[in-house]
Amino acid sequence: MFALADAHCHFDAKYFEEGAEAVMDRARAAGLVGFVVVGLADAAQGVAPLTAVLDLARRMPGEVAACVGIHPHDASSWTPSLHEGLRAAAASPDAAAVGEIGLDYHYEHSPRPAQRDVFARLIAVAREVRKPIVVHTRSAAEETLELLASENARDVGGIIHCFSEDRAFAARALDLGFHLSFSGIVTFKSATAIKDVAAWAPLDRILLETDSPYLAPVPLRGKRCEPAYVVHTARHVAMLRGVAVEDLAAAALENTERLFGKGFSRPRA
């Protein structure tokens, strides 16, 4: 067994009725030592999901890094008061990053102008609190890169989470100072462009994630995803790069710790 981190997961009770602790126990048994957990504010729940992930990070500082954001799906939920709540959460010492934020033109649950506006506002929050951002982008590659550049996201850096673009996008994101986080999608047979990027990207810019509860990697594709499954993604990316999985997992773990400013505790041997 080797140590590794899940650089992006959701623990909300609506996904895991058994509770975060049970999910984390199964992950610990699979070798996970770190969890980057995402809390997202929206109109229905307000900032309660942000408070929940900050509490988790406070209770388990050696294992959990918290991210606070407003998903592009919910950009139309943005109000000045939600923004103030998000800003306060982002400024908390228990918040490691602002995210996920970004653009999703595939589902377009919120109008595109609202998505762009909220993305820009939340990059500004990250710059104000000097924390990295976690970017969600789907069917909006060009505008995502344009906004990252025009809003000076380079000042804080961050990750392109659930990376699902091609090498040209990756090269530009790397130039902007961003890291690439690979989810179970990289294990899917049809994901040739993503596999190409995973094989090619610099080792010090690669992270691994599950995006639980979605996108379980092969051979568990279609199941509810959970952090323990990141092991399969690590094996696949190591295979693509022709390196030992232990080495790939160790590099991705170190990158996760460096980026989120967090030292995860290693279990005593």
To Zn ion, the closest distance from the beta carbon of 73 in angstroms equals 9
Contact between 136 and Zn ion per CB under 5 A? yes
Q: Is 205 in the site for Zn ion (CB under 5 A)?
A: no
Query: Should residue 262 be labelled a site residue for Zn ion when binding is judged by CB under 5 A?
Result: no
Q: How far is the CB of 25 from Zn ion (least distance, A)?
A: 22
Q: Does 144 bind Zn ion (CB under 5 A)?
A: no
Looking at the Cβ atoms of 191 and 238, the one nearer to Zn ion is 191
* Contact status: 213 vs Zn ion (CB under 5 A): no
Minimum distance of Zn ion from residue 136's CB (angstroms): 3
| Cα–Cα distance for residue pair 234/210, rounded to 1 Å | 10
Q: How far is the CB of 135 from Zn ion (least distance, A)?
A: 9
Query: Which tokens is 245 given?
Result: 């999985």
Closer residue to Zn ion, CB minimum distance, 160 or 238: 160
Q: Are strands 178-182 and 206-208 parallel, antiparallel or unpaired?
A: parallel
| Binding to Zn ion, residues 12-41 (CB under 5 A) | none
Q: Which residue is nearest to Zn ion (CB)?
A: 136
Q: Which stretch binds Zn ion (CB under 5 A): 14-22, 125-133, 209-217, 252-260?
A: 209-217
Report d(CA 57, CA 51) in Å as an integer: 10
Total of chain residues touching Zn ion, rule CB under 5 A: 3
195 binds Zn ion (CB under 5 A): no
Q: Which of 54-62, 76-84, 99-107, 219-227 is the region at the interface with Zn ion (rule: CB under 5 A)?
A: 99-107
Stretch that binds Zn ion, among 45-53, 129-137, 199-207, 247-255 (CB under 5 A): 129-137
Tell whether residue 116 is a contact of Zn ion (CB under 5 A): no
Cβ 21 to Zn ion shortest distance, Å: 20
Q: 128 φ, ψ to 5°?
A: -65, -45
What are the DSSP calls for the chain, one per residue? ---EEEEEE---TTT-TT-HHHHHHHHHHTTEEEEEEEEE-BTTTBTHHHHHHHHHHHH-TTTEEEEEE--GGGGGG--HHHHHHHHHHHHSTTEEEEEEEEEETTT-SS-HHHHHHHHHHHHHHHHHHT--EEEEEES-HHHHHHHHHHTTGGGT-EEE-S--S-HHHHHHHHHTTEEEEE-GGGGSTT-HHHHHHHHHS-GGGEEE---BTS-PPTTSTTSPP-GGGHHHHHHHHHHHHTS-HHHHHHHHHHHHHHHHT--PPPPP-
Interface with Zn ion includes 232 (CB under 5 A)?
no
Query: Which of 94, 211 has the CB closer to Zn ion?
Result: 211
Give the shortest CB-59-to-Zn ion separation in angstroms. 21
- Give the residues lining the site for Zn ion (CB under 5 A): 100, 136, 211
